[in-house]
Each structure stands twice: as structure tokens, then as C-alpha cells.
Chains A and B, each alone.
Chain A
């Protein structure tokens, strides 16, 4: 992995990560997004984690089908990344964050 980027993203990013209980994939996703946050946002971003096994209504409210799902609420456009986010390069590409 690369060292932390010289310039961190300044924009106000807002993410919601949907997980389901303590499943392996969910835990891995939490870990991965945290790492991305540290590496590229300098922890300067808004991350909300919703466990749909506890908050069941949230799943249909946010149109969640696959778990884990990372929803980028802002900035526009809204994006949904499904999967455990282990493919960092792909995640960054989807988020249009250049290294």
C-alpha cells in the first residue's frame, strides 16, 4: 500500500455503510472503509454504519439489497458500492478519487 497521499480530499464526503450483524464480509467492509478513510481522507469524512439486522426498516428505506453496501450520500452523484471493499483501487476509481 502506498503511503498517505500528500493532499487529502478536502470535500465533505458522506458515507453510509450497511452491514448485517457481525458477518465476516461486514467486518471486512468496516475495516476497509476505515482504512480508505484514514489513507485518503485523513479521517475527515462522515461515515455512518447501519446494521440492518438491528434496524430492519433502514434496508428498504435506503433500497439496500446486497450486503455490505457503501452508499455515498454526498457529494453527488449518489453511488452504491456493494461488496466488502477489499478492492481498494476499484473503490477509489468508483469514488473518482485520484491518488
Chain B
């Protein structure tokens, strides 16, 4: 197995395995292109699991999308019934067959009419099939529940030999065929058709878990090609079957480095980038009443203000209620709704199964083409399915949003825990989301305050602080950080701390003023002293100069006297 698959893989990388696209949404993705071209494929499953519809869709899409005419050979439903049955799903078989694109042949093998006497073969079937194929030059053939032959004819040995010949013949004809078979007890099909059809086997399943039905599809084998091996849920709605791959096979969607604002004043600053990346997804978790919806509505509002389309799924409130509640804090969403930037879609999570929810989401997203999607809250969906199902649905949802580069915000209600970390239930989602914010109550001294912090944000540097935020009539506001001796302060403690700070500042100012005055006084004294000294100095100087003058006078008088004495002699 390992060597053969290796060589096959090698071969397929060089040469592309020829495939026929089914046109069934999602199935071509799983099969990486469709069913094996020119070979028969077995589709098996229990009653009512959608075998006939799947094969019918394969034919009709072949005609309408790929221009490949088809033959539908039914062993069960008379043609007229078939026309009506698929018409309700929007397929107009009458038109297609009148356009010579489709042949429907109903093979009726009436047990009560038929008796066997001697050897026979199924040439009749072959000729009918050949005739039908040639009539429209069919490329696709469906044999719907070929096994009905076994209930009509007795000779198993002949039937088996003839079926083997039939499959061989189909291959030779080069038509891509679907053969449907009823699921058996221990085998894939009741009559073991899987023995004859070895190229591709698809198993359909219809299960009801906790009153919610889910249809699933699995590719049991696909010779010569890689394929998705999981069980994929699929839906039947007015457009037929669509398969939802649980995960897209690759993680290679384009990423954007655009940053979108959070819309909440102060929250942008907690991210180094100044907001969320476009196309990323954001989870806001928190206990009841921590303003998750408010934050989500702010985010939606901000995007609408920038003239971007927002699709808001409210699983708790009706659109009117949401608008009214947001208005109470000064956020008016109504103009956005009227201008067509915002679409609020409300439904109860229990309205339908997860798959249908996902389908609704997909459809609305396709129709509305938003750049931003808000789901409020995703945790409500858990009531609809098991953890595992919810997770798989979310993975698919997130994949879909990522592929379309849609920024998504989810809110999630978490249980009240002592830990600041949210409870484990959310961890199913945590690995999927890019940015995870938590809002929580911070209780203390008889009051409850709201704190917000970032648990993670992929590719963005972010604040590690728990920031307090308040909701007033004017909306939501993140407060500046207030440090106390024991960390960040909130609520009343914050106010006390602020008051204390104010008093301290006032005291300091008084002290400063007093000191200033003292210095002023000291300077005054100093200046007075300087003046006194100056005066003293001046008087001494004066005295000295008088002394000097007297001395001079004396000297002069003395010289005069001596000269006079000399003259007299």
C-alpha cells in the first residue's frame, strides 16, 4: 500500500488525474476536482440519505454548467414522479430532456410479472443504456439503485456476472457514471456492489443526534487520487446538495496587513497596530453582563461609519431590541441599517441544526457581501450541538470568513470562574481565533467594575494591562490606568486613589509656596545687611581720604616754611 500510494502520488504530481466536476458545491473541493473521469463511482447510503438527489445534481450540473449531456436510468421511481420530486428542488428535467440534453429511462422490473426459464443476460439493459447514451451523446450516466434488479430477478450468478460486464462496459464507453446502492448490514451496499466498482466509493449518511438531523458524506475510497477523508456534513435545501468541508484542505488564504479600528475609544491604543487586522477574527469572551454585545456593537458601528458592510448575527436579541439597547448608551445603529451598511439577522439558535445555521450564514454572507461579520454570541450555538460539532462548524465558518477576507467578531458567554482566564469551553475556539479579548467583572469593596484585557493577539504587540472601562449614557470608555500599591485600581478604589493623589499634590504645593516665601524673606534680610556694610565702608573710606588730605596739607606747609627760612638767611 505504502509503495503503491507513493508511486501514485508521484505520478499524480506529474500527470493530473482526469476528473469530472460534479458541480455539487463542496464535493469537488473534497475530491480535488470531481469524480474519476470515464469511470463508475458508487454512491451508497441508507434510505432517504440523498443518493438520488446527489446523482441527479451531478447530471443536471453536468448539463447546465459543463455542457455534458446525461442519462438517468432509474430503477426505482417512475419518471413522472422523479420529474416532480426534483422540480421541487429547482431542477427542470422536462426542459432538459426536451432540449435533448437528458434522457431519463425508468427500468421497471416487476417481480410479479417476471418468471425465469433458462439462461439469459442483461442485453436489454445494455441496449437501452447504449441507446440513451447515443441519443444525447451522454458523457454522464446515473444508474439509480441498480440493486433493484436483484429483487426482480432470481439468478444471482447471472446478475453478478452481468453487473461486472456492465461496469466494464461503462468504462469502455468512457462515461462518468454514478451507481447508487442501498446500504447493507455489514457491507457498503446490500449486494456488495463495491466489489465491482473499485474506483471511487462515496458513502452518504443521515443521522439524528439529539433530535437534530445531520447528513454526512464520506469518500470511502478514491483510487489514484488524494481526497479528503473526513466525514463532511452536507445539506439539502432548495438549491440541492451542498457539502461543507469541515476544514479547507489548505491554510493558504491571503492575509491583509490593513488595520481596522476597534471602535471603542481607548481600545485601539492597547494594540500596537492600533486595531485588529482586516480579515482576522476576534473573540470577546466574558461572563454575563460584561458588555460583550456593546463592544461588538461599537465595532459594527465603527465599520459602518467607514461605509463598510457589516452583517450582525444576533442569537439573543431581535434587531429592534438591539438597536434600542444600543441607543440607550448613545449608539445609534438605525441609520446604518437604513443606509444598508448594517444588516442585523436574528434567529434563535435552536431554530435549526448547526449545519443549517452555517448554511444561513454562508448564504447571507454571499448575498450581502460584508467586510465584517459579528456573531453574538457563538456560545449559544453550543446548545444546539455537541462541543465537537460546534467546533467543527466554527472551524468551517472561520475558514469561510478568512477565505473571503472578512473581519469577524464573535462574542462568547463564559461561565463565572474565579480565575481570570476563561473556562475551558472556550478553548475549543481559542486556537482558531486570532485575537481574544476578555471582559470580566472585577469585584471588590461592594461594587462591580468591568475590566477588559487582551489574552492574545496574533501578530500584534499588545498591552498586558487589565483596563477598566465604564459604560455611560454617552457610551463606552476605557479609563486611564490607575496604579495602586497592589496593582491596577478600579472603581471606588480608583476614585479614592485619585483623591489621595489630589490632596498630596495640594499639600506639596502649599509647602513649596511657604519655602518660596521664606527665601524671599531671607533675601530681604541679606540685602539689608549688604546695605549697612556698604554704608560703613563708605564712611571709613571717607575718613581715610580726609586723613590723606590733612597729611598733604601738613607736608606742603612744612616745605614752605623751610624755603622761607632759607631766603631770610
Residues of A within 8 A of B (CB): 18, 20, 23, 25, 28-29, 32, 52-53, 56-57, 59-60, 63-69, 77-87, 90-91, 94
Interface string of B487-525 (1 = CB under 8 A from A): 000000000000000000000000000000000000000
Q: B448-503: which have CB < 8 Å to A?
A: none
Q: Is B121 touching A87 in the complex (CB atoms < 8 A)?
A: no
Contact of A60 among B113, B122, B128 (CB under 8 A): B128
Shortest CB–CB separation between residue A84 and chain B, in angstroms?
4
Contact of A78 among B109, B113, B122, B153 (CB under 8 A): B113
Q: Is B122 touching A65 in the complex (CB atoms < 8 A)?
A: yes
Closest to A69 in B: B124
Q: What CA separation (Å) do A64 and B110 show in the bound complex? A: 11
Contact of B120 among A53, A79, A84, A94 (CB under 8 A): A84
Residues of B within 8 A of A (CB): 105, 107-110, 113-125, 127-128, 130-132, 149, 152-153
Q: Is B123 touching A84 in the complex (CB atoms < 8 A)?
A: no
Query: Contacts A60-B105, A65-B107, A67-B122 hold; do A81 and B128 have CB atoms under 8 A apart?
Result: no
Which residues in B have their C-beta under 8 angstroms from that of A66? 120-125, 153
- Give the total number of A-B pairs whose CB atoms are below 8 A apart: 102
Q: What CA separation (Å) do A87 and B455 show in the bound complex? A: 84
Shortest CB–CB separation between residue B472 and chain A, in angstroms?
78
Q: Is A18 touching B124 in the complex (CB atoms < 8 A)?
A: yes
Q: What CA separation (Å) do A91 and B108 show in the bound complex? A: 22
Q: What CA separation (Å) do A60 and B114 show in the bound complex? A: 16
Q: Is A25 touching B119 in the complex (CB atoms < 8 A)?
A: yes
Q: Which of B109, B120, B125, B128 has the most CB of A within 10 A?
A: B120
Closest to B109 in A: A65
Query: Contacts A57-B131, A63-B107, A66-B153 hold; do A83 and B124 have CB atoms under 8 A apart?
Result: no
Closest 8 CB pairs of A and B: A83-B118, A67-B123, A56-B131, A84-B118, A64-B124, A20-B123, A86-B118, A66-B120
Closest to A90 in B: B117
Q: Is B118 touching A56 in the complex (CB atoms < 8 A)?
A: no
Q: What CA separation (Å) do A77 and B115 show in the bound complex? A: 13
Q: Which of A52, A83, A91, A94 has the most CB of B within 10 A?
A: A83
Shortest CB–CB separation between residue B102 and chain A, in angstroms?
15
Q: Is B107 touching A67 in the complex (CB atoms < 8 A)?
A: no
Which residues in A have their C-beta under 8 angstroms from that of B128? 56, 59-60, 64-65
